[in-house]
């Protein structure tokens, strides 16, 4: 499949309003996709975190900052049959096993000497059928991938080659809900996504996801290339902590109450990644201008410290 038929995407969870950090990442995902001739897609990852009205608000805010996408937004809650079919395919290849561990079981096992930090210790990997039958009476099972590697390497536009741990991670939780690491990989594959732009806090999950993509590709898209990632620096508050909604005026609505227009916010977002921003011009005009000079190699490598009190109205920039 040619690059122009591949895609980048932004995939928020509808758990509330998008804050300035979310909007910045969405803007960068759009710039990466458009600058490389890819389609840009919006996906609503609503499997287990959804608040009434959030999806509509998020879409409206993304449109307000000038973003456009090429297909109707996809919702994960509409795709249960696809997730079940993919797990069935992996089960047929012997790549899935039942796990009855609680979070406490795993925490205690991974705190033991010589345990790999954060990795599943393999407790249920080789249970006998008799043992599984007994454990099913105690609690429902989650389904885990029977990984055949312990490490996988991905290519990242910011970090270069990055190798990380791959363990037997969860595909289906014991409440029947597909796990994030599984659902997002299958959706990317089925949508032709080969470029993922997101916050650097998710870098450690990339090896697991890319490994799973390599297992699923023969089932769905033999020509699917490996994912190319861009894990971009985070937005922090003035205390140097990850920005959150509790940090004050961090959404478009909040900033509007302080007197900042959406165009001014877009200008600030663009300037934060080293691109020209002019709050006197519409968001779409600003994005078009930024796209013409966008070069991922020039992105700042340090986090952006966001302070709403330091924002400037047009004509007041120092």
pLDDT per residue as tens digits for the range 158-175: 999 999 999 999 999 999
Rounded Cα gap, residues 306 and 303, in angstroms = 9
Residue 306 and residue 312 in contact, taking contact as beta carbons nearer than 8 Å:
no
Question: What are the tens digits of pLDDT across the range 87-100?
Answer: 999 999 999 999 99
Amino acid 318: pLDDT: 39
Residue 76: pLDDT over 80: yes
Residue 117 assigned to a binding site: no
Instruction: Give the pLDDT of residue 116.
Output: 63
Residue 243: CB atoms within 10 A of its CB come to 22
- 101 and 48 co-located in one domain: no
Residue 224's region, left for phi above 0, alpha for psi from -120 to 50, else beta, is beta
Q: Establish whether 39 is an annotated binding residue.
A: no
Determine contact, residues 184/209, Cβ cutoff 8 Å: yes
The residue segments making up the domain with residue 163 are: 79-232
**Residues 10 and 30: beta-carbon distance below 8 Å:** yes
In the chain, the percentage of residues whose pLDDT exceeds 90 is: 79
Alpha-carbon separation of residue 52 from 9, 17, 24, 55, 63 (angstroms): 23, 11, 23, 8, 19
Q: Quick check: 156 pLDDT over 60?
A: yes
For residue 317, being part of any structural domain is answered with no
Residues 57 and 167 in one domain: no
237 and 206, same structural domain? no
| 315 found inside a domain | no
pTM for the predicted model, two decimal places: 0.92
User: Is 245 annotated for ligand binding?
Assistant: yes
Q: 244 among the known binding-site residues?
A: no
Strands 193-199 and 7-10: parallel
Share of the chain above pLDDT 70, in %: 93
| pLDDT given for residue 5 in this prediction | 81
When pLDDT is cut at 50, 70 and 90, the band that residue 314 belongs to is low
Is 115 within 8 Å of 248 (Cβ atoms)? Answer: no
What confidence tens digit (pLDDT) does each residue in 32-64 have?
Answer: 999 999 999 999 999 987 788 999 999 999 999
Last residue of a domain, one of 232, 248, 279: 232
268 appears as a binding residue in the annotation: no
The reply, when asked if residue 180 is annotated as ligand binding, is yes
> What is the pLDDT at residue 1?
45
Candidate from 14-18, 65-69, 143-147, 189-193 with smallest mean pLDDT: 14-18
Q: Is residue 312 marked as binding?
A: no
Do 173 and 107 share a domain, yes or no?
A: yes
* Residue 317 pLDDT > 70: no
What CATH number has the domain bearing residue 248? 3.40.50.620
160 lies in the same domain as 103: yes
Do residues 44 and 100 both lie within one domain?
no
Tell whether residue 55 is among the known ligand binding residues: no
State yes or no: 11 annotated in a binding site.
yes
Average pLDDT of every residue of the chain: 92
**Which burial class, exposed, middle or buried, applies to 269 when counting CB atoms under 10 A from its CB (0-12, 13-18, 19+)?**
buried
Q: Are residues 215 and 293 in the same domain?
A: no
Residues 42, 187: Cα–Cα separation, whole Å: 11
Query: Is 162 a known ligand-binding residue?
Result: no
pLDDT tens-digit profile of 105-130? Answer: 888 887 655 556 668 999 999 999 99
Flag whether 101 is marked binding.
Answer: yes
Per-residue pLDDT tens over the stretch 296-310: 999 998 999 988 767
* Domain count across the chain: 2
d(CA 266, CA 28) in angstroms, rounded, equals 12
pLDDT recorded at residue 113: 58
pLDDT of amino acid 51: 85
Q: At residue 315, does pLDDT exceed 50?
A: no
Same domain membership, residue 248 and residue 175: no
């Amino acid at each position: 499949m040619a690059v122009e038929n591949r895609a980048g995407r932004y995939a928020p969870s509808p758990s509330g309003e998008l804050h300035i950090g979310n909007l910045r990442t969405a803007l960068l995902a759009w710039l990466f996709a458009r600058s490389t001739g890819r389609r840009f897609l919006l996906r609503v990852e609503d499997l287990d975190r959804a608040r009434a009205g959030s999806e509509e608000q998020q879409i409206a805010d993304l449109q307000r900052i000038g973003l456009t996408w090429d297909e109707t937004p996809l919702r994960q809650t509409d795709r249960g049959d696809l997730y079940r079919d993919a797990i069935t395919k992996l089960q047929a290849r012997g790549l899935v096993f039942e796990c009855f561990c609680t979070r406490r079981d795993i925490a205690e096992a991974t705190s033991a000497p010589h345990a790999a930090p954060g990795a599943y210790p393999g407790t249920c990997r080789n249970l006998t059928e008799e043992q599984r039958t007994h454990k099913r009476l105690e609690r429902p099972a989650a389904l885990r991938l029977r990984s055949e590697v312990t490490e996988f390497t991905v290519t990242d536009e910011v970090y270069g080659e990055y190798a990380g741990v791959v363990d037997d991670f969860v595909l289906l939780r014991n409440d029947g809900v597909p796990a994030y690491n599984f659902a997002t990989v299958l959706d990317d594959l089925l949508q032709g996504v080969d470029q993922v732009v997101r916050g650097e806090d998710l870098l450690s999950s990339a090896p697991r996801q890319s490994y799973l993509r390599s297992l699923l590709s023969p089932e769905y898209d033999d020509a699917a290339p490996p994912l190319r990632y861009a894990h971009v620096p985070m937005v922090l508050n003035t205390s140097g902590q990850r920005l959150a909604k509790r940090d004050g005026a961090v959404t478009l609505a909040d900033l509007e109450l302080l007197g900042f227009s959406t165009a001014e916010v877009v200008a600030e977002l663009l300037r934060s990644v080293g691109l020209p921003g002019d709050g006197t011009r519409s968001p779409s005009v600003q994005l078009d201008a930024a796209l013409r000079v966008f070069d991922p190699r020039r992105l700042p490598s340090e986090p952006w410290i966001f302070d709403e009190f330091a924002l400037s109205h047009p004509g007041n920039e120092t």
